Amino acid sequence: MKKTSVRLADGRELIYYDAGEGAPVRDAVDRRSLPPAATSSQARFDPLLREWVVIASHRQGRTHLPPADECPLCPSREGRLSEIPAADYEVAVFENRFPSLTGAPAGLSGDGGALLPRMPGAGRCEVVCFTSDHHTSFADLSEERAALVLAAWTDRTAELSRLPGVEQVFCFENRGEEIGVTLGHPHGQIYAYPFTTPRTARMLDSVAAYGAAHPGANLFGELLAAERADGSRIVLDTAHWTAFVPHAAHWPYEVHLYPRQRAADLTELDDKAREEFPAVYLELLRRFDRIFDEGAGQPPTPYVAAWHQAPVHDVRRGEFALHLELFTVRRTAAKLKYLAGSESAMDVFVNDVPPEQAAARLREVASA
């Protein structure tokens, strides 16, 4: 893999990732006239739920669903300069122009008193462009390109984990207007948080409690073994990866993908799992696109694909298990799953699709 770092007109970093020998020189200059990047956000702590909320008002003005010929993630061309100065690229990663988290770390502020702490929303947000082809999706990538994306995710996880103040790195993809994407180009994002996210903190607490009650046992490992032994919710089971619908799935179609060999984050993934991942992940994405295949014109399945990684500095880091969560908000071809009263106000999900039925459907639509 070849990695080339350049600067955009406003000072933000852009990194090209190229595979194989003979990668082109990436020296195109950003010819746009942009003011220096200057954004800020704030994190406020909710003492009742014990979680941070990020306030980022500048994101109200971000680009929203532009036509394809005005896409800021496509390569630049004469008459249309974009975030990518090059005329073509394989995988590109750049600092988000409208970041949720930005700036250097700083201490807590006493403006709200001891009960209402706040701090700068320090961290970094990046955009990951999977391909220069606007009219495609991750599921259409070759295994070689998917491997390059995995390499980019891994490299960014390592680099961002070394930044001062970063506590957790989150790689994810939102696809589909139903999910809330504002750009149609195939892309994902990476957040480098200045705190451990609530979901991860809860997982670590559960793992610690289970370990205390069952010395020597790891809850992640036990759950994976239990799902494999049951078998009814297994979607894919290969030499180095297992994909299953969890028995208490929150979403209509939700799959968790675990490497057989536990790793804390992408940097610890072993070579065999890394080699096998592209084929496994592409197969899962293609199955998701076939779940609701009820005739021509059916739109692609909207989804969120989220890498759960261990916090950078938590002493329990070694007990965490890297895994990918893939889910859709669509419950039938014409109906969406909305987070209404029970889900939004009480955090109690009501799932309309039994997990065993979802798993059966995902096995049914396997590639021939």
Is 134 a known active-site residue?
no
Q: Which two tokens stand for residue 80?
A: 């249309």
pLDDT in tens, 194-229: 999 999 999 999 999 999 999 999 999 999 999 999
Q: What is the pLDDT of residue 115?
A: 87
274-295: average pLDDT: 92
* Cα 167 from Cα 94, distance rounded (Å): 20
136-142: average pLDDT: 97
Q: Which residue has the higher pLDDT, 304 or 21?
A: 304
- The pLDDT of residue 296 is above 60: no
CA distances 131 to 11, 220, 241, 300, Å, are 23, 33, 25, 18
Same topology, domains 2-195 and 199-364? Answer is: yes
* 3-state SS class at 52: strand
Q: What is the pLDDT of residue 258?
A: 98
Which strands, in side-by-side order, build the sheet including 42-46?
A: 51-55, 42-46, 118-120
Q: Which residue has the higher pLDDT, 112 or 295?
A: 112
Q: Which distant-in-sequence residues (6+ apart) come within 8 Å of 168 by Cβ? A: 192, 193, 195, 196, 197, 200, 309, 310, 311, 312
**Do 309 and 265 meet the contact criterion of CB atoms below 8 Å apart?**
yes
| Among 198, 155, 146, 194, residue whose Cα is nearest residue 173 | 146
Min mean pLDDT across 117-121, 226-230, 261-265 is at 117-121
**Residue 3: Cβ-neighbour burial (10 angstroms; 0-12, 13-18, 19+):** middle
Min mean pLDDT across 90-99, 113-122, 134-143 is at 113-122
108 — pLDDT class (breaks 50, 70, 90): low
* Cα 324 from Cα 321, distance rounded (Å): 10
Measured from the Cβ of residue 130, the count of other Cβ atoms closer than 10 Å reads: 24
- The pLDDT of residue 291 is above 80: yes
Q: What is the pLDDT of residue 269?
A: 98
Helix, strand, coil percentages, rounded to 5, for the chain: 25, 25, 50
Q: Which two tokens stand for residue 296?
A: 């021509």
Q: Which distant-in-sequence residues (6+ apart) come within 8 Å of 246 by Cβ? A: 227, 233, 254, 256, 355
pLDDT in tens, 126-137: 999 999 999 999
150-176: average pLDDT: 97
Pick the CATH number of 2-195 from 3.40.720.10, 2.60.40.2310, 3.30.465.10, 3.30.428.10: 3.30.428.10
* Cα 107 from Cα 37, distance rounded (Å): 23
**The three-state (H, E, C) secondary structure of 267-336, written as one string:** HHCCHHHHHHHHHHHHHHHHHHHHCCCCCCCCCCCCEEEEEECCCCCCCCHHHCCCEEEEEECEEECCEE
Q: What is the pLDDT of residue 114?
A: 80
Q: Which helix (H) or strand (E) holds 68?
A: none
- The pLDDT of residue 295 is above 70: no
109 — pLDDT class (breaks 50, 70, 90): low
* 3-state SS class at 86: coil
198-213 vs 219-230: helix axis angle to the nearest 10? 90
Q: Which two tokens stand for residue 243?
A: 């994909």
CA distances 103 to 10, 39, 57, 162, 309, Å, are 15, 8, 15, 15, 22
The superfamily CATH assigns to domain 199-364 is: HIT-like (3.30.428.10)
Q: Which distant-in-sequence residues (6+ apart) come within 8 Å of 159 by Cβ? A: none
- Would strands 303-308 and 168-175 be described as parallel, antiparallel, or unpaired? antiparallel
Active-site residue identified among 58, 135, 187, 247: 187
- The pLDDT of residue 294 is above 70: no
The residues spanned by each domain of the chain are 2-195, 199-364
pLDDT in tens, 19-68: 987 889 999 999 999 998 888 889 999 999 999 999 987 766 677 789 99
